Amino acid sequence: MTEAKKKLDEMNLTEEERVAYIAYLKNLRNISSEQHTKMADAKVLIDKGRDGREKEAVIGFYENGIPIFTIANSLKISEDRVRQILEEEKKKKGNGRQS
């Protein structure tokens, strides 16, 4: 006998109640899964927004003459990350001119 069936037997449910209870549990699992997916999707959108603001800030500071070290310190990111953002922007602008 499976563990779930043993547990249901211990609850002294009728067959009809057992079927309803199993359906109820399945519904709860579906709701939980759906909510987990929604939360994961929301996190992706939040991270995209945060990444966009970070890039905007790095580019804006750099264009206003702020040194990479100061940008990194101010935004609490690594100097390598600042350089990566600036390099990506440079490539993006370079590709834009070729079009």
Torsion of CA 70, 73, 75, 77, to 10 degrees: 120
Nearest to 61 by CA among 50, 48, 72: 72
In this prediction, residue 98 carries a pLDDT of 46
**2-6, 22-26, 60-64, 66-70: the lowest-pLDDT one:** 2-6
Residue 57 near residue 51 (C-beta atoms within 8 A): no
Residue 86 near residue 58 (C-beta atoms within 8 A): yes
Tens-place pLDDT, residues 41-87:
999 888 888 889 999 999 999 999 999 999 999 999 999 999 999 99
Model confidence at 97: pLDDT above 60: no
Collapsing DSSP to helix, strand or coil, 6 comes out as helix
